[in-house]
Amino acid sequence: MSAMMSSEIQLSLVGTSAILPHMKTGRLKALAVTTSKRSAAMPQVPTVAEAGVPGYSFDVWYGVMYPGGTPRAIVTKAHDEIVKLLKSPELAKRYAAGGVEPLYDTPEEFAALIRSELPKWHDVVRKANIKVE
């Protein structure tokens, strides 16, 4: 971010929460968002796909995982409590201010997301010849 602000570099991929304050002051301009849909925090900014790279999508996601075999009742209880926290007005306001848009997927939907992401990233690792050191 320092290099962007000082014009040392011309372009960077940064998180929404990092660029929002600088967009508001006019010091930086977002050219596109990498996600599959526009950001609610900056709806005027197109997606990379809309800007001319069809099919491009890089969604950042976070989740809570448990060891295999964790009893379903524990997973369900934790999920319900986390969703309750994410939907609380105070936390929702803080996330929105940072351009973060929480999802309330079920544990099964989150597992499906992970399974759907694996082939894409496997392909990136293979094509880039990334090796574990």
The CATH code of the domain that includes 6 is: 3.40.190.10
Structural domain boundaries, residue 54: 1-60
Question: Among 13, 32, 60, which residue terminates a domain?
Answer: 60
Assigned domain for 66 exists: no
Compare 98 and 32 and report the one with higher pLDDT. 32
Between the CA atoms of 89, 90, 96 and 100, what dihedral angle is there, to the nearest 10 degrees? -100
Compare 51 and 1 and report the one with higher pLDDT. 51
Do residues 43 and 76 share a domain? Answer: no
Please give, one letter per residue, the 3-state secondary structure of the chain.
CHHHHCCCCCCCCCCHHHHHHHHHHCCCCCCCECCCCCCCCCCCCCECCCCCCCCCCCCCCCCCCCCCCCCHHHHHHHHHHHHHHHCCHHHHHHHHHCCCCCCCCCHHHHHHHHHHHHHHHHHHHHHCCCCCC
Assigned domain for 65 exists: no
Instruction: Provide mean pLDDT across the span 100-113.
Output: 90
Q: How many CB atoms lie within 10 A of CB 33?
A: 25
Do residues 45 and 91 share a domain? Answer: no
Question: Among 60, 82, 98, which residue terminates a domain?
Answer: 60
Do residues 56 and 11 share a domain? Answer: yes
Do residues 81 and 115 share a domain? Answer: yes
Residue 18 has pLDDT above 90, yes or no: no
Cβ-in-10-Å burial (0-12, 13-18, 19+) of 116 comes to exposed
Position 109 scores a pLDDT of 94
pTM of the predicted structure, to 2 decimals: 0.73
Do residues 37 and 86 share a domain? Answer: no
Instruction: Provide mean pLDDT across the span 11-24.
Output: 88
Number of domains observed in the structure of the chain: 2
Assigned domain for 133 exists: no
pLDDT digits over 77-105, tens only?
999 999 999 999 999 898 888 888 888 89
In percent, how much of the chain has pLDDT > 90?
A: 59
Question: 30 near 6, Cβ under 8 Å?
Answer: no
Position 16 scores a pLDDT of 86
Report the chain's mean pLDDT, rounded to a whole number.
91
